[in-house]
Chain A
Amino acid sequence: MTTTHTYEAVIVGAGGAGLRAAIEASGRVHTAVISKLYPTRSHTGAAQGGMCAALGNVEEDSPEWHTFDTVKGGDYLVDQPAAEIMCQEAIDRVIELEHWGFPFNRTPEGRIDQRRFGGHTRNHGEAPVRRACYAADRTGHMILQTLYQQCINRDVRFFNEFYLLDLLMADGRCAGIVAYELATGEIHVFRAKAVLFATGGYGRIFKITSNAHALTGDGPALCLRRGIPLQDMEMYQFHPTGIYKLGILISEAVRGEGGILLNGEGERFMERYAPTIKDLAPRDMVSRAIYQEIKEGRGVDGKDFVHLDVRHLPRDVIEKKIPDVTEFARIYLGVEPTTEPVPIQPTAHYAMGGIPTDVHGQVVVGPEETPVPGLYAAGECACVSVHGANRLGTNSLLDIVVFGRRGGMAMAEFAEAAEEPMLPDEPERETVAMLRGLLQGPNLEFAADIRSQLQEQMFDLCGVVRSEEGLRRLQDVLRGLHERMQLVGVQDRGRLFNTELMEAVELGFLLDIADTVAAGALDRDESRGGHYREDHPLRDDDHWLKHSLAYREADGSIRLEFKDVKLGRYVPMERKY
């Protein structure tokens, strides 16, 4: 049984980017939002520390400084015109959120309070600047809530617990999507003039990750399968402070409020790596520093973790400004942060790469950036690229509201002018074949075994530090896992809430995404931002100041193309902090 729906705009994903796009589009065209979770379960809600905008509420600041920090933080792989737009529009977006009721922490004068965050500096790197607007350490939660509230107010149509299973293309344009209703097992075809993917990240390719179970790269993987390349997939961010073994995020805000990192010898080691801004260096540098300390035997008790220390902070700062992460340490580690240092290790956190778009969320392919009519993307699944090779903390929440809004506007404008698309014949055919394959699969392999091996190998061989030898080994492993995936089946053959079936589908997405990350990482024989090759430790602007585009060939192999970085006023220079 298939149900066909017709909308002008269909948004897939109900995190910050999807909801912000929906607010824009739903006022103009007939809009539906498809989400595999209830919107308030989206992972935007896990973001903690803040959202940067050069309001200058507590000290002098300017959008131009913010742009510079973003470009430098991204190790110059950032498209500078896009970064400029983001940092300029940041102020309006923060004020807009406030007008929608966002409960910002306040200064004594009643203005939006701001705090320090990694890589955000005064006057091109002089010293840390207070730029991050925040609500305690639940800023993402409050953004998600505020945007969802606005959607309720606007009566936005949601299809909750619907999984995206296919992207429909016809006559060179996007024609809609195919989705699976979890509650009933029914297939739904959504015909749409414009589709916007806001499906989030894909941290679940890694073992230690801050990402939710739901973050399996569904949107990017389907683009890849439909011939659309994925950009800069080797650029993945490892956040320095994940809870040891679990990967749960401990916000950079902890260091913004004065927390410091200590190695096994009790030394504040970041002073050696970033003498000026120390513990508030960008995430890629701090993660590598931790890796280096551990490698040289200065982990705590000889193990693979270091300490995050807040014992010297006033009690009310801990309880009022970072209460949630304090609780995480208590619950998951049994550690009392006011009296004990917290064991942390780098955790897979954020995908800088993704579906290539222009600054209007329009998906573009190839070095010439040819638009795919009717297809848009925003948020972590997209690559604008404002984060380049390493995202600065808080810039993801900014990205989702700036480019979510822009994508929503652009898709509405397109839908207002466009003709109804023709659907391909039997649009659900491939989806049904895929599900049938899993439902009838030989069931000789556990999906969970394949997933855990994928995650372990990706984390070990394609993590904070990479090498040619390791990446070649990884590609062999991935080939083997793809083969074993053919032997996966499901035990649950029912229609109702068949999450086992959906998890198997998601594993397929993860494997496809992992291929592109590994291929990009192997090819890029330099080190830049979040991508560090121990066999090529230096940045190589002569050969690598360019974006990678990964295509999937018919035989499943990955082919890479490249396109120029859009430079601007900031000339690449050595990245020191």
Chain B
Amino acid sequence: MSARDEPSADLPLGDVLEASDEAEWWEGPPHEPGAKPRVGPPAPGQVALTIRIRRYNPELRDKPWWDEFRVNVEPTDRLLDALHVVKWYHDGTLALRRSCGHGICGSDAMLIDGRNRLACKMLVRDVAPKVTVEPIRGLRVLKDLVVDMEPFFAGYARMLPYLINDESTSDRERLQSPEERERFDDTTKCILCAACTTSCPIFWADDEYVGPAAIVNAHRFIFDSRDRGADERLQVLSQKSGVFRCRTTFNCTEACPRGIKVTKAIQDVKRAILFDRY
């Protein structure tokens, strides 16, 4: 069963349209797999990839369902490219976020074969012939692979993620040695994709826990020699929603598409609280 077999949802823009338009809705051309030449045998250089997707669309059904698509793509294509083939030629209702396509904007974190990954940093050859794609966990699913990011960004904002320093500045830069700069280098790489936070079993179970990404961003400032807001941040992070919820399962480090040593950053923050040193 797929979305295509369902009666269509209420018309969008309903009020406006219903008042002014009585035209029939076209069903459009068939979009069933097999109806398009693209779904024949793979062309030379291509491989057939079966993509199993956990779907959810409250306008169509109350509950999530599984859908399966077969696409022909090149082994060096990104999984994101394969998902685009699904969306553009098989089922236009498939919802996902993406933008840059090369792992820097952080839009397309998904659960891919059971691990949090960016779809644009996974190549088809690494997942073929069959791959399972689900939304990241622990955030409310809004439609298909799109989850509610608001709680995630709210957690980030709780970390006071901006440089705090009231000391007067000159018209030149503050000095910072390469060694001081190095201390927080790793955590400046964060792209806020939520792969770490939504791989964390504590975050799944506990709505209060701020999660790894927020701590990473707190770390970025706490260990910046120019910042004076560490006390405030450590105050927030020493609360029960904070850093001591972490059980060091290393899921976050494994999930980070930027290679940030997330668990180490969390440990750094724990030590800073325990020993009042940073």
Contact = CB atoms under 8 A, between A and B. Distances in A.
Contacts of B157: 152
Interface string B154-196: 0001000111000001011111111011001100110110000
A333 to B, nearest CB: 8
Interface stretch (A167-175, A299-307, A431-439): A431-439
Dominant SS among interface residues on chain B: loop
A211 B161 CA distance: 28
Interface string A482-498: 00000001111111111
B275 interface: no
Contacts of A185: 12-13
A446 B59 CA distance: 23
A108 B191 contact: no
B104 A45 contact: yes
Contact of A40 (B10, B13, B84, B191): B191
Nearest to A501: B12
B123 A38 contact: no
Contact of B99 (A152, A214, A324, A436): A214
B89 interface: yes
Given A95-B173, A101-B162, A141-B104, A493 B184 contact: no
A100 B105 CA distance: 21
A15 B172 CA distance: 26
B204 to A, nearest CB: 22
A106 interface: yes
Interface string A297-336: 0000000000000000000000000001001100110100
Interface stretch (B21-29, B65-73, B266-274): B21-29
A103 B188 contact: yes
A442 B178 contact: no
Interface string B246-264: 0000000000000100000
A106 B176 contact: yes
B188 A135 contact: yes
Contacts of A37: 99, 105, 107
Interface stretch (A109-117, A351-359, A522-530, A541-549): A109-117
A99 B27 CA distance: 57
A447 B191 contact: no
A100 to B, nearest CB: 6
A112 B26 contact: no
Interface size class of chain A, counting residues whose CB lies under 8 Å from the partner chain: 35 or more
Interface in B1-59: 8-13, 15-17, 21, 23, 25-29, 31, 57-59
Given A98-B174, A183-B142, A495-B59, A439 B106 contact: no
B208 interface: no
B119 interface: no
Nearest to B126: A331
Contacts of B162: 100-101, 149-150, 152-153
A432 B157 CA distance: 35
A360 interface: no
B95 A213 contact: no
Nearest to B179: A106
A446 B11 CA distance: 21
Contacts of A150: 162
A142 interface: yes
Most buried by B among A138, A141, A332, A494: A494
B224 interface: yes
Contacts of B259: 327
B88 A447 contact: yes
Of listed B28, B84, B180, residue having the most chain A CB within 10 A: B28
Contacts of B130: none
Nearest to A95: B173
Nearest to B152: A38
A331 B123 CA distance: 8
A499 B95 contact: yes
B91 A45 contact: no
Interface string B92-106: 110111111111111
Contacts of A328: 102
Contacts of A136: 185
A43 B99 contact: yes
Given A135-B188, A492-B92, A46 B12 contact: no
Given A46-B100, A152-B157, A332-B76, A99 B92 contact: no
A563 to B, nearest CB: 34
B87 interface: yes
A315 to B, nearest CB: 17
Contacts of B171: 92, 95
A510 to B, nearest CB: 15
B163 A493 contact: no
Contacts of A135: 188
B92 A500 contact: yes
Interface string A419-436: 000000000000010011
Contacts of A149: 161-163
A327 B102 CA distance: 11
Contact of A103 (B13, B99, B224): B224
B146 A497 contact: yes
B29 A443 contact: yes
B173 A142 contact: no
Given A38-B153, A489-B28, A491-B31, A436 B224 contact: no
B172 A145 contact: no
Contact of B101 (A95, A248, A435): A248
A104 B99 CA distance: 26
A444 B105 CA distance: 33
A41 interface: yes
Given A440-B26, A493-B12, A110 B59 contact: no
Q: Which of B9, B10, B16 has most A Cβ within 10 Å?
A: B16
B206 interface: no
B183 to A, nearest CB: 10
Interface string A268-292: 0000000000000000000000000
Contacts of A153: 162
Given A99-B169, A183-B142, A494-B9, A500 B100 contact: no
A491 B92 contact: yes
A101 B180 CA distance: 13
A58 interface: no
Contacts of A447: 88
A489 B26 contact: yes
Contacts of B142: 183, 496-497
Interface in A492-519: 492-501
Contacts of B60: 494
A45 B26 contact: no
B130 to A, nearest CB: 21
A106 B181 contact: yes
A40 B106 contact: yes
B167 to A, nearest CB: 10
B57 A496 contact: yes
A108 B178 contact: yes
Interface of A: 1, 37-38, 40-43, 45-46, 92, 94-95, 98-101, 103-112, 135-136, 138, 141-142, 145, 149-150, 152-153, 183, 185, 187, 212-214, 245-246, 248, 324, 327-328, 331-332, 334, 432, 435-436, 439-444, 446-448, 489-501
**6 A-B pairs closest in CB distance:** A101-B163, A443-B28, A448-B88, A110-B175, A491-B92, A149-B162
5 contacts: A106-B177, A135-B188, A141-B104, A432-B16, A494-B9
Given A37-B107, A45-B191, A110-B175, 19 more contacts: A38-B107, A40-B192, A46-B100, A99-B173, A101-B227, A106-B178, A138-B188, A138-B189, A324-B104, A328-B102, A331-B121, A432-B13, A432-B16, A439-B17, A440-B23, A442-B26, A494-B59, A495-B9, A500-B93
